């Protein structure tokens, strides 16, 4: 069986390359998301490559909120049968495998990936998350991470600005 890349797979090519990033996070290690808390800034780099034209693999490394370094690995592809973007994310700072399921907006500039993972607000509870990536024309992409609160509203807790090149 040989899958041929489709338009949706080729859309992922915009991730390919070397990126530097600067992030603002409202997550306080050990305390979770604290409303009204000032954001911490951290920096790093990411290398993204294609896997057979069907997947991308993003390997990152950088600072963590609260100090220390971390390594991350993300995979993204397009499930042609279900017509959804799918993927995974792992990081050296936690033992949880995040599974992504998402879709592209009609303008084809913003990818919203849904996931479920450990709540940063309540111990031993799962929460719904979204990572939303928007591509800009100037070699910049912005990723916003948010959590669905118990009251049904989304709370943004991290914004990452990636710049092409290192």
What does DSSP assign to residue 123? T
State how far the Cα of 21 lies from the Cα of 165, in Å rounded to an integer. 10
Pairing of strands 40-51, 32-33: unpaired
Structural domain spans, the chain = 7-164
What is d(CA 48, CA 40) in angstroms, rounded to the nearest whole number? 25
pLDDT for residue 92 = 95
pLDDT in tens, 58-113: 999 999 877 789 999 999 999 999 999 999 999 999 999 999 999 999 999 999 99
Q: What is the pTM of this model?
A: 0.91
Query: Alpha-carbon distance 21 to 8, whole Å?
Result: 25
**∠ CA(50), CA(161), CA(32), 5° rounding?**
105
Assign domain 7-164 to its CATH architecture.
Answer: Beta Barrel (2.40)
């Amino acid at each position: 069986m040989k899958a041929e890349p489709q338009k949706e797979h080729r859309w992922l090519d915009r991730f390919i390359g070397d990126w530097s990033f600067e992030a603002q996070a409202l997550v306080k290690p050990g305390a979770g998301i604290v409303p009204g808390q000032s954001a911490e800034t951290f920096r790093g780099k990411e290398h993204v490559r294609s896997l057979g034209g069907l997947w991308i693999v993003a390997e990152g490394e950088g600072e963590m909120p609260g100090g220390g370094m971390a390594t991350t690995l993300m995979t993204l592809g397009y499930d042609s049968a279900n017509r959804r973007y799918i993927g995974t994310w792992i990081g050296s700072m936690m033992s949880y495998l995040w599974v992504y399921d998402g879709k592209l907006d009609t303008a084809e500039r913003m990818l919203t990936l849904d996931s479920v993972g450990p709540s940063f607000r309540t111990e031993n509870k799962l929460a719904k998350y979204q990572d939303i990536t928007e591509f800009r024309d100037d070699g910049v992409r912005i990723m916003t991470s948010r959590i669905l609160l118990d009251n049904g509203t989304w709370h943004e807790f991290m914004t990452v600005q990636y710049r092409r090149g290192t």
